[in-house]
A and B are shown apart, each in its own frame.
Chain A
C-alpha cells in the first residue's frame, strides 16, 4: 500500500471518512439535531404514524420546492433572494386571474366544462405564470450579476412585485370555480394516497440534485460560488450564472404558488406573508431551510439534498411542537434558534479552517 491510496481514503471505513471530511462541530450539531428529532419522535404520541409522516412531507413540500430553487442562488455565491414570497405572490395572482378569466372561452357557456377545456385553461395560466416568473428572475439576476448587492436588489424587487400583485388584484381575493385543472396538482394523488405535491417535491429534489452533480451547469454553479475569480478566469462570469440561478429560484416559487392556488382555488397577495402562514413569512422560512440544511451561505458548498432534508427536518420539528400543543411563538422561536445555531456552527468551522491555512 502506497501513501497515495492512503491519502485518497479508499481504505478508510465509513466513520473514519466522516471524521476526515467533517469537523467535530458539525458532527456534534448533526448529532444534536438527530437527538432532538429522535427524542421528540419517541416522546410524541401519534408522531410516527403513516398519516402524520405524510402530513409532514406534504407540509415540507411547498417550502421545500422553493428552498431547492433558492439553493441554486445560494450555491452560486449570490446569498439569497429576499423576494421569494413576493415572486410567489405575483405568480399566484397571475395564475388565479387567468384561471378565472379564461373560463368561458374554453368551455361551454352553461353546464360543466369538458376535461380538455379545464386542461387548456390550466396550461395557459400555468405557462403565463412561468413566463412572468422567468421575467422576474431574469430581471433580478441581471441586476445582481452586474454587481448589485443581492440583498438590496431583491428588497427593492420585493416591494415592486408585491405592489404589482396587489395592484393587479386590487388587493382582493381572486377566486375561481371548481373543478379546475390545478386541483390535480394541489390536492390530487395518483400514486396510492400520496399527494401529488409530495411526488412533485421528490421529483424536483432528485432532478435538482442530479443537475448539480452530473451536469456541466451544476459544476459551474459550484465553481462560480466557491471562487468567483477562478470562475471569471475560466470564462464563467457571474452575470450569466446569477441570471440562470435567479430564474430557477423564481420558477420554483411560481410552481409553489400554482400548487398552493390549486389547493385553495383562490389567490391573494398576502397568502405567503406572516399574517397567513403558521410560522412567519415564507421568505424567511425558505432561507431558514437552506441554512439549517447546512449549505454554506457564502456559496460553493452544499447541495439540494441537504436543503430537502432541512425542509423535512424543520417541518417535523414544527409538527412535533404542534402535536405537543405549543403556540406559534414557540415554534417561530425554535426555527429562529435553529438558524442562528447552524449559522454560528458553520461560521466557527470556517474560522477554524482558515486558521489552518
Chain B
C-alpha cells in the first residue's frame, strides 16, 4: 500500500495515463460486446505495431525538447521504397535499404538542428515538404504495389493469440529503447538536454550527440512504421501517412511527456498509444467515420495541452504569490524591528 502511494505521488502523469487507458478500455468493453475478445485484442496489437513506433519516436523527440514534424513524410518515403523494390530485390534488401535511408535522414536532421542551433520544428517543416517530394519522385507519382503477397501474409500471421511478427518486433523495439533511455549515459543525456538545456550544455554535454541519436531513432521508428504499413497493405502512396503525426502526438502527450521536455518515458508512450488504439478500435465498432476519429483526437490533444498549460500557469501564480507573501512577511518583521529600534529607550 505504501509503495503504491509512493508510486502515485512520484509519477502522477503515468498514473493519469494508466487510468485513462483503463477507463477507455472499460467503456468500450461494456458498451460493445465484441470489443473484449481475442480478435479485437489482435487488431489492437496490429494497430499498436505502427502507431506505437510513431508514438515512441515523438516521445523521444519531445523528451529532448523538440518535435519531429517530418515523421509522416519519412514513413511514407520508407513505405514507397520498400514496396517498390521488394519485387526486384527481395523484401529483406528493400527493407534494409529503406531503414538505412530513413535513419540517415533522421541523423542528418539531428546534426543540422544541433549545428545550426535552430528549433527542430523549423527544420522539420522544411524536410516534411522535401521528403514528400523525394517520395513522389521515388514512386514516380503513382501508387506503388506489391505483386507477391507472401510477405504481407507473413507479417500479419497470428502468433500467441494476440501478436504478429510485426507487433512482436515493435514490442522488442520498445524494450530496447526503454533500456537505452533509462540505463545508458546517452539516454540520460537526452533527458538532460530536454529538461534543462542550458544547464546541460554548461556542464559539458554536447548538443550534437543526443540530437543525432534522438532524430536517428525517430527516423528509424518512422521508417519501420512506414515499412510495416507498406508491406502489410501491399501498397504505398507518397502523399499518404500524414495522419500519423496527430495520432502519434496525442499518444505521446497522453503518455505524460511535457512540451518543455525532460519528462516522460517509453512506458508512457506505450500506454498512450494503447489508449489511442482503444479509442480508434472502439469507435470503429460504432461505425464512426474516420474524420470523427480525427475530431476526437484533436479534442483529446487540446484537452491535454490545456491541462498542462493550465497547471503550469497555476504553478507560476502560486510561486509568485508565495514570493510576494514571503517578501511581505519579511517586510513586516523588519518594520517591527525598526519600530523597536526607533522607540526611545527608557
Interface residue ranges, A against B (CB under 8 Å): 79-80, 82, 143, 146-149, 151-153, 155-164, 166-167, 171, 269, 274-275, 280-281, 284, 287-288, 291, 297-298, 327-337, 339-340, 343-344, 347-348, 351
* Cross-interface CB contact of A288 among B129, B131, B296, cutoff 8 Å: B129
Can you list 20 pairs linking A and B with CB atoms under 8 Å apart?
A80-B125, A146-B309, A148-B309, A149-B259, A151-B69, A152-B305, A157-B298, A160-B302, A166-B292, A166-B294, A297-B119, A327-B136, A329-B133, A329-B140, A329-B141, A332-B132, A333-B130, A333-B137, A336-B133, A343-B123
* Interface size counted on chain B using CB atoms at 8 A: 54
Chain A hits for B137, CB < 8 A? 329-330, 333
Q: Assuming A80-B125, A330-B133, what are 13 further A-B pairs, CB within 8 angstroms?
A: A143-B302, A156-B297, A156-B305, A160-B295, A160-B302, A162-B298, A163-B295, A166-B292, A274-B132, A284-B129, A327-B140, A335-B129, A336-B130
B181 — which chain A residues lie within 8 A by C-beta?
A: none
Question: A152 touches which one: B122, B249, B296, B313 (CB < 8 A)?
Answer: B249
Contact residues in A for B126 (Cβ distance below 8 Å)? 288, 291, 336, 339-340, 343
A80 to B291 alpha-carbon distance, docked (Å): 24
Interface residues of B in 130-181 (CB under 8 A from A): 130-137, 139-141
A158 to B294, CA, bound (A): 9
Q: Are B129 and A155 in contact (CB under 8 A)?
A: no
A291 to B130, CA, bound (A): 14
A156 engages B116 (CB within 8 Å): no
Report yes or no: B246 in contact with A159, Cβ–Cβ below 8 A: yes
- B118 contacts the other chain (CB 8 A): yes
A283: nearest residue on chain B (CB-CB)?
B125
> Within the assembled complex, what's the spacing in Å between the Cα atoms of A157 and B250?
12
Residue-wise interface mask of B (203-222) relative to A, using a CB-CB cutoff of 8 A (1 in contact, 0 not): 00000000000000000000
Q: A82 contacts which chain B residues (CB < 8 A)?
A: 69
Does B335 touch A at the CB level, under 8 Å?
Answer: no
**Interchain CA distance A164-B298 in the complex, whole Å:** 10
Least CB distance from A145 to B in Å reads 10
Chain A residues whose CB sits within 8 angstroms of the CB of B121 once the complex forms:
79, 151
| Chain A neighbourhood of B132, CB < 8 A | 274, 280, 332, 336
A327 near B302: Cβ-Cβ < 8 Å: no
Instruction: Answer whether residue B117 sits at the interface, using C-beta atoms and an 8 A cutoff.
Output: yes
A167 to B290, CA, bound (A): 10
B residues sitting closer than 8 Å to A (CB atoms) are: 67, 69, 112, 116-119, 121-123, 125-137, 139-141, 238-239, 242, 245-246, 249-250, 253, 259, 289, 291-292, 294-302, 305-306, 308-310, 312-313
Q: Count A-B pairs with CB separation below 8 Å.
A: 165
User: Complex formed: what's the CA distance from A340 to B118 in Å?
Assistant: 12
Q: How far is the CA of A212 from the CA of B75 in the complex (A)?
A: 40
Q: Which residue of B lies closest to A342 (CB)?
A: B126
Q: Contacts of A333 on B, CB cut-off 8 Å?
A: 130, 133-134, 136-137
Closest to B129 in A: A336
By beta carbon, the residue of chain B nearest A330 is B137
